[in-house]
Every structure is written in structure tokens, then in C-alpha cells.
Amino acid sequence: MRSLASINWQAVAAVATLAAVLVALLPIWRDARRRSAQARSLRFRLCSKLTVLRPSLGAIVQGGYSSYPAAVLSPDAFREAVRSVNAMMHESAVLQTDEQDQLGVVLANLEMAALLYGAKEFHPESAKNVLDLIDRAVAIMGEHGLLHGKVEKPWDE
């Protein structure tokens, strides 16, 4: 059996220091994981709401025709969906800056679209531009981690 005198106290101090550093980093690691989960949840909710707006904007682009007429929102429902996106933007601090920038542009255009939705002044070109902005925002959010894995989309088949 070894005696205490033969223990290398420098090695013990190094191990203790490493343990202290790991313990100190644990809250930072947990906070980063929580922030990542919050960002993923916000991305999913935003993309879901933006997807709900697509058939309505698509109907305008197609001159009133829609492949999914039941999915075309009334003016009040469209405005409520835009308000919902606006409310979610209060949580956008957890997103990356390029996501925030693109979503800000989308929101500004959606707010204008909500004012014109249902009026003859809302031209198909404007609706197409908003759809393109939505697609770009969804693509950027997808690049930063929208979902954990690939999801099958049966409605696209």
C-alpha cells in the first residue's frame, strides 16, 4: 500500500482544477441547450404560421384560384395569423441574426399585405413577392435547425 507521502499533490490539484472548471461550465452548457431548444421551437411555430398563410397568398397569385380553397383564409383570419407572427417575433432574440433580419422583412411585408388582403389593390406580383420572402425565411430557418430530422410531407405527393 502506498503512503500519502507518495501521492503527487500536483496531479491531485490538476484533477481538482479540471473538476472545478467542468462544474463551472455546466450551467453555461445547460443554458446553451435550452436556448437552442427555444430557437428550434420558435422556428417551428413561425414556419407553421407562415405555411398557413401560403394558400391565401397563392390564391391571389393565381387570380383567385386555389388548389386548396378551404385553406384560403378570410381577411380577419389572415390578419390574425399576421398578428400571431408578430407576437412570436418578441421571442426572436434566440434566433440567429440572419433569421431575425429575414423575418423582420417578412413581417413588414405581411403587415402591409394584411392591410390590402381582400382588396383589389393587392396585386398578384405583390403576393408573389411575399411568398418568395416567406420561402426564403423558411429556408434560412431550416439551415439553422428547424427540425431534428426529415419529415415526410404527404400533401406534396
What confidence score (pLDDT) does residue 156 get? 57
What confidence score (pLDDT) does residue 73 get? 92
* Distance in Å from the first CA to the final CA of the chain: 73
What confidence score (pLDDT) does residue 12 get? 84
**DSSP tag of 112:** H
The domain tally of the chain equals 1
C-alpha cell at 72: 384560403
Does some domain include residue 5? no
Does some domain include residue 139? yes
What confidence score (pLDDT) does residue 2 get? 56
Q: How far is CA 91 from CA 112, 118, 139, 147, in A?
A: 22, 30, 19, 18
Does some domain include residue 85? yes
Does some domain include residue 58? yes
Does some domain include residue 53? yes
Does some domain include residue 132? yes
Does some domain include residue 116? yes
Task: Find all residues with CB under 8 Å of 155, minimum gap 6, and list them.
Answer: none
> Residue 134 is part of which domain span?
38-148
What confidence score (pLDDT) does residue 66 get? 81
What confidence score (pLDDT) does residue 4 get? 55
What confidence score (pLDDT) does residue 46 get? 95
Does some domain include residue 3? no
Question: Which pTM was predicted?
Answer: 0.75
What confidence score (pLDDT) does residue 110 get? 95
What confidence score (pLDDT) does residue 101 get? 95
Average pLDDT for runs of 10 along the chain of length 157: 65 88 89 90 94 93 84 94 95 94 95 91 94 94 75 59
